[in-house]
Amino acid sequence: MIVIFGVAALSGMASGSVALTALIAAPAVGWVLLAPDAPEKKHAWLLLLPIGALLGGISVSGSAAPVGGDLAHWYEQLPFGFVSSEAVPADQFVLGFGAFLFLLATSNQIVRLVLATTDAKDLEGSELPKGGRLLGPMERLIVAAALVAGDPAGAGFVVAAKGLLRFPEVNRPSSNIHELTEYLLVGTFTSISLAIILTILVLASS
C-alpha cells in the first residue's frame, strides 16, 4: 500500500483517484498477506484475490487521468529512445513495469495455487520437476517480450523449447506419469496464459 500511495503521489493523482486505487489494490494486498508458502487445494479460493484486483483495475482504467507530476517528469528525462508520448507514454511504461513485476514474482504463487487443485499432490518430492520457480519467470518474461516485439512465433518457440527440456522427466519410468504430465501441462499453460493476458493489457494501453 505504501508503494501504491507513493506512486500515486508522484504521478499527481487526485485524492479521490488515490483512494479508488487503494481500494482496488486491497485484494492484492490481501493476497500477499494470506498466500501460503505451501498451497493446498483448500487454498484455491485465494485465486479470487489477484483476479479481483486485476478485473477492478481494468474496469476503472478508462477513468484514470494520465500519469503526470514528478513521475512523468522523471520518465521524460530517461536517456532512452522510446521515451516519448508518441512511442511509449508514461502510462504504458508504468503499466509495463508493474506487469514485469507481476510476471516475475506474483505469477509463481498463482501457478502454485492452480497446481494445488490438480492431482500433483500425489507426486513425491523426488518426482516433482526441478527448477520451476526459476524457469517459470524466465518463460513468462521471454513470451511477453516476444509478443511485445510482435513476434508470436518466438513465443511459440519458447513453449516448444520447454517441452523438449521437460521431455526426459515425462519419459522416465514412473507410477505417477499421468499426474506428472498434468502437473507440467497445467503449470505451463497457466504460466503462459498469465504472460499473454498481461502483455495484451500493456499493448492495449497504447
Shortest CA distance to 157 belongs to which of 145, 170, 173? 145
Whole-model pTM over 0.85:
no
Quote the cell numbers at residue 15.
485524492
CA 112 – CA 54 distance, rounded (Å): 18
CA 167 – CA 115 distance, rounded (Å): 19
> Comparing 81 with 100, which gets the higher pLDDT?
100
* Extents of the domains making up the chain: 2-204
pLDDT tens digits for range 90-121: 777 878 888 888 888 778 888 888 887 776 65
Quote the cell numbers at residue 35.
498466500
Q: What is the pLDDT of residue 128?
A: 66
